[in-house]
């Protein structure tokens, strides 16, 4: 019986095909398909759907407006109740997260592509940049800031946020009605039959918290660059544009992030270290002198960097400066940051053993901020030592 049951199980990350469609021929082109990284929020921790053989779930979107095609196909489905196990309600689960108004007819979906020429980016233009692509040449991208009052945006955002379920492990949908949300969107300009069209590339949501008496603290909530566009620098462009936008607002105290994931922290270190390079206190010749109050002040005043992040960004800045020194050997740089992460994990494991879950939550929060700050400062000292030693060795060889 177990063997028979297994025949009716499908890996939902494989079964679900996603697509961003620009041209009718994209619909049947497997090269434009991508799959979720996660589907556990809908299909359970083992990411398996039961009751079907050859299950295929299609969630295709028009490239700009994200008009949706939703189809479920399979070769066999268990008909009667099967050893007291019913087939999973695939349609119901997916309908629970995608907004109404989708089509299940491929021809209707293809005809919606004609309306894509009417789709224009929401909100105000913040930043334009170009990226060189091997095949397509120079491509132009735009970052826009929108809010919930932009006509048509709420419906578009409901379609866009469905992608979070598939690419962020702990994703949840936001209550976009709240006017404290800011939305930052990235679009690619492309040409179709001589017309300029816009394709959705990714986005970020930021919540403006109030800080007594008259300041705000924007907190980055979610950020997603859609998979076909990842690794091309769009995440860095988006985060930098968002930082620059809030830095220009006098009422902003500093910029924070909600429960930042490892990917987000890596991207943030990359962007902040780039932004720090332009500040006099972070000039390369000042770095070996150690962490200074001047750095803290400049990072806070000019970049509105939250204090927990300084050391992380400075460490990254130092390491990348070192990496670009000629003659440097990678093994010469010790790994205090790696050690810090391991140590932090050991501390957490120890705590988990002796604390009740409700105590753990508050201890973790406190420990994270306090130890991160202290440990990053220690690791900074070690990196500075490495830096001095290497510079001296290189100078003695010159
Ligand atoms: C994380 C994410 C936003 C990054 O966007 P991206 O456009 O792919 O990143 P970029 O190409 O702009 O990266 C710029 C630099 O940041 C650093 N970086 C970004 N993501 C990284 C990662 N996952 N690991 C290590 N470094 C990373 C790298 O230094 C990179 O430069 P390089 O490619 O020359 O090494 C994107 O991959 C994504 O949406 N992932 C899924 C959802 C997610 O994890 N969101 C964040 C938490 S809410």
Average pLDDT along the chain, 398 residues, taken 10 residues at a time:
81 98 97 97 95 96 98 89 80 96 98 97 98 92 96 96 96 89 97 96 96 93 97 96 95 90 86 84 74 81 78 62 54 48 49 46 50 63 66 62
Nearest CA to ligand 1 atom 30: 267
Q: Which residues line ligand 1 (CB under 6 A)?
A: 167-168, 222-225, 230-236, 261, 263-264, 266-267, 270
Nearest to 145 by CA among 215, 243, 257: 243
Angle between helices 293-303 and 234-247 (to 10 degrees): 90
Active-site residue (options: 86, 114, 258, 392): 258
Mutation choice for ligand 1 from 132, 184, 228, 270, CB with most ligand atoms inside 8 A: 270
Nearest CA to ligand 1 atom 5: 235
d(CA 18, CA 132) in angstroms, rounded, equals 25
The structural domains of the chain, with segments of one domain joined by +, span 1-116, 120-259, 261-397
Task: Provide the pLDDT for residue 290.
Answer: 65
Task: Provide the pLDDT for residue 186.
Answer: 98
Task: Provide the pLDDT for residue 55.
Answer: 97
CB 42 within 8 Å of CB 93: yes
258 in catalytic set: yes
d(CA 190, CA 345) in angstroms, rounded, equals 46
Task: Provide the pLDDT for residue 40.
Answer: 96
Task: Provide the pLDDT for residue 371.
Answer: 63
d(CA 266, ligand 1 centre) in Å: 7
Q: What count of other Cβ atoms lies within 10 Å of the Cβ of residue 48?
A: 17
Q: CATH fold of 1-116, please?
A: Histone Acetyltransferase; domain 1 (3.90.360)
Query: What CATH number has the domain spanning 120-259?
Result: 3.40.630.30
Strands 16-21, 124-133: parallel, antiparallel or unpaired by DSSP? unpaired
């Amino acid at each position: 019986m177990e063997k028979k049951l297994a025949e009716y199980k499908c890996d939902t990350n494989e079964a679900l095909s996603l697509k961003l469609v620009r041209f009718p021929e994209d619909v049947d082109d497997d090269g434009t398909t991508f799959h979720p990284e996660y589907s556990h929020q809908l299909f359970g921790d083992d990411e398996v759907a039961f009751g079907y053989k050859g299950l295929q779930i299609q969630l295709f979107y028009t490239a700009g407006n994200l008009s949706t095609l939703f189809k479920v196909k399979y070769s066999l489905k268990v008909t009667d109740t099967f050893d007291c196990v019913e087939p999973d309600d695939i349609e119901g689960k997916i309908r629970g997260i995608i907004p109404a108004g989708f089509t299940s007819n491929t021809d209707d979906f293809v005809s919606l592509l004609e309306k894509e020429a009417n789709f224009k980016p929401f909100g105000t233009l913040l930043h334009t940049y170009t990226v060189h692509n091997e095949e397509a040449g120079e491509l132009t991208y735009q970052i826009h800031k929108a809010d919930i009052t932009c006509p048509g945006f709420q419906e578009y955002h409901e379609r866009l946020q469905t992608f979070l379920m598939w690419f962020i492990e702990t994703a949840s949908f936001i209550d976009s009605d709240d006017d404290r949300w800011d939305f930052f969107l990235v679009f690619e300009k492309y040409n179709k039959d001589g017309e300029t069209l816009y394709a959705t590339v990714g986005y970020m949501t930021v919540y403006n918290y109030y800080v007594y008496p008259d300041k705000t603290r924007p907190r980055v909530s979610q950020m997603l660059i859609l998979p076909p566009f990842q690794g091309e620098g769009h995440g860095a462009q988006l985060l930098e544009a968002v930082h620059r936008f809030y830095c220009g607002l006098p009422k902003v105290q500093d910029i924070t992030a909600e429960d930042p994931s490892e990917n987000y922290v890596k991207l943030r270190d990359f962007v902040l270290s780039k932004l720090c390079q332009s500040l006099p206190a972070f000039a390369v010749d000042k770095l070996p002198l150690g962490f200074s109050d001047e750095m803290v002040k400049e990072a806070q005043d000019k970049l509105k960097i939250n204090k927990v992040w300084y050391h992380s960004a400075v460490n990254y800045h130092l390491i990348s400066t070192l990496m670009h020194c000629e003659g440097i050997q990678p093994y010469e740089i010790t790994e205090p940051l790696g050690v810090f992460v391991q140590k932090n994990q050991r501390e957490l494991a120890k705590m988990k053993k002796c604390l009740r879950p409700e105590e753990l939550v508050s201890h973790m929060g406190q420990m994270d901020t306090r130890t991160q700050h202290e440990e990053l400062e220690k690791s900074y000292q070690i990196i500075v030592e490495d830096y001095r030693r290497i510079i001296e060795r290189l100078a003695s060889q010159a």
